[in-house]
Amino acid sequence: MKLIVTEPFADFQRGDEITDPELVAAILEDERQCCVVRAAEPQPEPDAE
């Protein structure tokens, strides 16, 4: 899972993607969670045969 910044905070600007798992977990556990939205990682396309 990644986060996309909706409201600037710290060194992050709107639209930034946060992908570091430890940082994602830390943000979701504190008051900064209101500044981001969760985004699922794209799933690989199955091989069409």
Residue ranges making up the domain that contains 6: 2-39
Residue 6 lies in a domain: yes
* pLDDT on residue 44: 82
* pLDDT on residue 49: 61
Residue 19 lies in a domain: yes
Residue 47 lies in a domain: no
**Rounded Cα–Cα distance for residues 47 and 12 (Å):** 37
Our count of domains for the chain comes to 1
**Rounded Cα–Cα distance for residues 15 and 9 (Å):** 12
48 pLDDT above the threshold of 70 = no
42 pLDDT above the threshold of 80 = no
Instruction: Provide the whole-model pTM.
Output: 0.79
Residue 45 lies in a domain: no
End-to-end C-alpha distance for the chain, whole angstroms:
29
**Which residues does 37 contact at the CB level (< 8 Å), separation at least 6?**
3, 4, 6
Mean pLDDT value across residues 31-41:
93
22 vs 49, more confident: 22
